[in-house]
């Protein structure tokens, strides 16, 4: 059957690898890479015969993967955190890449060119993994999460110059600068042409396709755009993946982006599986066995180095308390773009097998361990604060102006907190709001609510909100570790306080109740119950 037999083998192996990854609660791509190791030439058992042909098909997977990632990039995500994203993001990439390259050359003994490749690969984080962690924790709308998403957008954009510059580092030293200048000039002209075509012609072309009423033809047009622009970029002497990524970014701001992404995802996932399996096929397990200590030390250094650099940058841009820890450790893994960079380097004979194996192993391990590392952010931050034992800040905490008794303290002025505050005020109940996001603090101050800017987990802030005389504490944010800490400190000041908290997931309710929360509310469940109530009312003939 030739390549068809190999295709079947890869799909079946990818299925079992994905099932194993899901069982272990790891990203699916980790399972796909593991499946590639199993069917690769370095392990016993079923082996892919037409490796070169599979690698050619995998190039389509790269194009579709990057095209869809480009479609998902939203520059609107940068608006709330544009200062740290646009200034701190490039700084983080440059500092991390420089530190990684320095360590790779002087500690790991890599040649200078390969060290630069390695530094570039470790500088980017995983959009897929981070979004999965944030979504699972129900914290995608917190300030720290918005900063992380903004930095991820900038990191993804940084891959464009990497794919242009890095391939030019393998030639003789005297030719690097001329070749680099030539590549940048060609890339600039070509990307400008893609931008003009993408913003002026492609939307009109897709709109014209839609007038035919054929959804299938729309899908074919979207795929043709992604691989066609990628191939045109390849003919211009640049990366095939680069053109597809840029095409996705350009279309991301058009009215067709959501439908195009929805249509292309199934095709992307199948060809993406081919790509990640092909990545794994190049890996030699004997390398991991023979270099366990080196790999463990490198992974630990990557986690620590990226967390420190990113966390310090977050702190320098004014994000305090737990935010630097959450941001730093949340973005400490290596991202899926490192697979693309590694494959590009190997294909161009610019990366040795040793460097490729080390980069691939570190990428897979940091992705797999990322949920555990991210979960350690708040406990480590608390330990750091206790160890430092900082003196009380010089800024005075502005307490509510009037004497309050039996009032309600609302922690968090997001959608849930603001709705609760308005309803309680309408009922004549005194309310004090605690909010760490200064922009939201200004919002509820303008709306006429009494409140405090600060961290509800801090005893000083709770005291300023007069928790000793409060009747109810509403914890509207979904971060369970912070809720536990807030409950401990609030109960210490007022044992009779009634605490109502938000549960991120249904299985968090028991944990919150065991920790002293009186009522745990899971908004999605409550919303489902309310929708069922209205549905039953309609079925009984009542008006909704």
Count CB atoms within 10 A of the CB of residue 23: 9
Per-residue pLDDT of 410-440, as tens digits, reads 998 888 888 899 999 999 899 999 887 766 7
The length of the chain in residues reads 544
Per-residue pLDDT of 383-403, as tens digits, reads 887 776 554 443 445 556 556
Residue 538 tokens read as 């309609």
**Range of lowest pLDDT (337-351, 355-369, 395-409):** 395-409
Give the model's pLDDT for residue 93.
93
Confidence of residue 137 (pLDDT cuts 50, 70, 90): low
Average pLDDT estimate for 212-241: 83
Give the model's pLDDT for residue 442.
67
Judge whether 73 and 252 are in contact, CB under 8 Å.
yes
Residue 32 tokens read as 């796909």
Judge whether 492 and 484 are in contact, CB under 8 Å.
no
Per-residue pLDDT of 361-370, as tens digits, reads 898 888 888 8
Average pLDDT estimate for 191-218: 82
**Range of lowest pLDDT (96-110, 137-151, 427-441):** 137-151
| 190 has pLDDT over 80 | no
Summary mean pLDDT of the chain: 83
Strand, helix or coil at 141?
A: coil
Q: Phi and psi dihedrals of 455, rounded to 5?
A: -100, 120
Beta bridge partners of 453: 435
Give the model's pLDDT for residue 519.
92
Residue 46 tokens read as 């079923």
Confidence of residue 544 (pLDDT cuts 50, 70, 90): low
Q: Is 11 exposed, middle or buried (0-12, 13-18, 19+ CB in 10 A)?
A: middle
Q: Which of 183-197, 289-303, 470-484 has the highest mean pLDDT?
A: 289-303
Closest by CA to 222, choosing from 200, 196, 252, is 252
Give the model's pLDDT for residue 135.
65
Element (H, E) at 133: helix 127-137
Judge whether 410 and 417 are in contact, CB under 8 Å.
yes
Share of the chain above pLDDT 90, in %: 21
Count CB atoms within 10 A of the CB of residue 301: 17
Confidence of residue 225 (pLDDT cuts 50, 70, 90): confident
Select 408-539's CATH number: 3.40.50.720, 3.40.50.620, 3.40.50.11540, 3.90.1580.10: 3.40.50.720
What's the CA gap between 256 and 263, in Å, rounded? 11
Q: DSSP secondary-structure letter at 86?
A: I
- Which phi-psi region, left, alpha or beta, contains residue 118 (left: φ > 0; alpha: ψ -120 to 50)? alpha
Confidence of residue 70 (pLDDT cuts 50, 70, 90): confident
Give the model's pLDDT for residue 94.
94
Confidence of residue 1 (pLDDT cuts 50, 70, 90): low
Average pLDDT estimate for 149-153: 86
| 280 has pLDDT over 50 | yes
Confidence of residue 76 (pLDDT cuts 50, 70, 90): low
Count CB atoms within 10 A of the CB of residue 187: 22
| 268 has pLDDT over 50 | yes
Q: DSSP secondary-structure letter at 198?
A: I
Pick the residue with more confidence: 463 or 103? 103
Per-residue pLDDT of 286-303, as tens digits, reads 888 899 999 999 999 999
Q: Phi and psi dihedrals of 432, rounded to 5?
A: -125, 130
**Range of lowest pLDDT (240-254, 404-418, 505-519):** 240-254
**Sequence ranges of the domains in the chain:** 50-170+189-384, 408-539
| 325 has pLDDT over 80 | yes
Count CB atoms within 10 A of the CB of residue 117: 31
Closest by CA to 363, choosing from 125, 135, 158, 132, is 125
Closest by CA to 361, choosing from 308, 289, 278, is 289
Q: Is 285 exposed, middle or buried (0-12, 13-18, 19+ CB in 10 A)?
A: middle
What's the CA gap between 379 and 389, in Å, rounded? 15
Q: DSSP secondary-structure letter at 75?
A: G
Strand, helix or coil at 487?
A: helix
Pick the residue with more confidence: 300 or 230? 300
| 170 has pLDDT over 70 | no
Residue 432 CB partners (closer than 8 Å, separation 6+): 400, 404, 407, 408, 409, 410, 450, 451, 452, 465, 466, 470
Q: Would you say domain 50-170+189-384 falls under CATH 1.10.3470?
A: no
Q: Phi and psi dihedrals of 522, rounded to 5?
A: -105, 105
Pick the residue with more confidence: 501 or 523? 501
Average pLDDT estimate for 238-246: 79
Q: DSSP secondary-structure letter at 169?
A: G
Q: Does the predicted model carry a pTM greater than 0.85? A: no
Q: Which of 102-106, 168-172, 336-340 has the highest mean pLDDT?
A: 102-106
Q: What is the tally of helices (H) and strands (E) in the chain?
A: 25, 6
Average pLDDT estimate for 250-258: 78
Residue 214 tokens read as 């054929």
What's the CA gap between 189 and 368, in Å, rounded? 40
Pick the residue with more confidence: 332 or 261? 332
């Amino acid at each position: 059957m030739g390549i068809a037999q190999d295709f079947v083998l890869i799909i079946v192996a990818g299925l079992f690898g994905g099932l194993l990854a899901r069982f272990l609660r790891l990203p699916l791509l980790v399972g796909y890479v593991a499946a590639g190791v199993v069917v690769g030439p370095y392990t016993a058992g079923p082996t892919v015969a037409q490796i070169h042909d599979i690698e050619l098909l995998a190039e389509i997977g790269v194009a579709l993967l990057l095209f869809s990632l480009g479609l998902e990039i939203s520059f609107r995500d940068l608006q709330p955190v544009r200062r740290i994203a646009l200034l701190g993001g490039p700084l983080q990439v440059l500092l991390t890449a420089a530190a990684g390259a320095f360590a790779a050359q002087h500690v790991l003994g890599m040649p200078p060119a390969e060290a630069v490749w390695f530094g570039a690969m470790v500088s980017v984080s995983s959009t897929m993994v981070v979004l999965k962690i944030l979504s699972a924790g129900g914290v995608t709308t917190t300030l720290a999460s918005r900063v992380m998403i903004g930095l991820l957008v900038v990191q993804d954009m940084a891959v464009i110059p990497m794919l242009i510059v890095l391939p030019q580092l393998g030639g003789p030293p005297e030719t690097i600068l001329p070749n680099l200048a030539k590549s940048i000039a060609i890339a600039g002209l070509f990307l400008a042409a893609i931008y003009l075509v993408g913003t002026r012609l492609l939307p009109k072309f897709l709109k014209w396709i839609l007038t035919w009423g054929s959804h299938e033809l729309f899908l074919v047009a979207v795929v043709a755009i992604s691989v066609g622009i990628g191939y045109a970029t390849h003919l211009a002497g640049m990366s095939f993946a680069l053109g597809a990524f840029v095409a996705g970014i350009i279309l991301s701001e058009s009215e067709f982006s959501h439908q195009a992404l929805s249509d292309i995802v199934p095709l992307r996932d199948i060809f993406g599986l081919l790509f990640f399996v092909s990545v794994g096929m190049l890996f030699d397990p004997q390398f991991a066995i023979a270099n366990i200590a080196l790999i463990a030390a490198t992974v630990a250094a990557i986690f620590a180095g990226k967390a420190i650099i990113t966390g310090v940058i977050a702190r320098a841009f004014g994000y305090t308390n737990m935010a630097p820890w959450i941001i730093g450790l949340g973005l400490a893994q290596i991202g899926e773009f490192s697979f693309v960079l590694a494959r590009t380097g190997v294909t161009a004979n610019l990366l040795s097998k040793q460097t490729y194996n080390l980069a691939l192993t570190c990428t897979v391990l940091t992705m797999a361990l990322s949920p555990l590392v991210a979960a350690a952010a708040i406990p480590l931050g608390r330990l750091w604060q206790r160890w430092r034992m900082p003196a009380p800040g010089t800024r005075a905490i502005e307490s509510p102006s009037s004497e309050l008794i039996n009032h309600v303290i609302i922690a968090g002025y997001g959608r849930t907190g603001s709705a609760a505050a308005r309803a309680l005020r309408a009922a004549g109940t005194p309310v004090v709001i605690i909010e760490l996001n200064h922009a939201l603090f200004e919002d509820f101050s303008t709306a006429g609510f009494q409140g405090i800017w600060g961290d509800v987990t801090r005893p000083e802030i709770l005291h300023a909100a007069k928790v000793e005389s409060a009747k109810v504490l509403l914890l509207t944010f979904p971060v369970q570790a912070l809720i536990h800490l807030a409950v401990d400190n609030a109960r210490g000041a007022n044992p009779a306080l009634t605490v109502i908290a938000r549960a991120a997931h249904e299985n968090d309710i028991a944990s919150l109740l065991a920790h002293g929360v009186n009522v745990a509310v899971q908004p999605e469940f409550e919303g489902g119950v309310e929708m069922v109530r209205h549905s039953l009312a309609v079925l009984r003939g009542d008006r909704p």
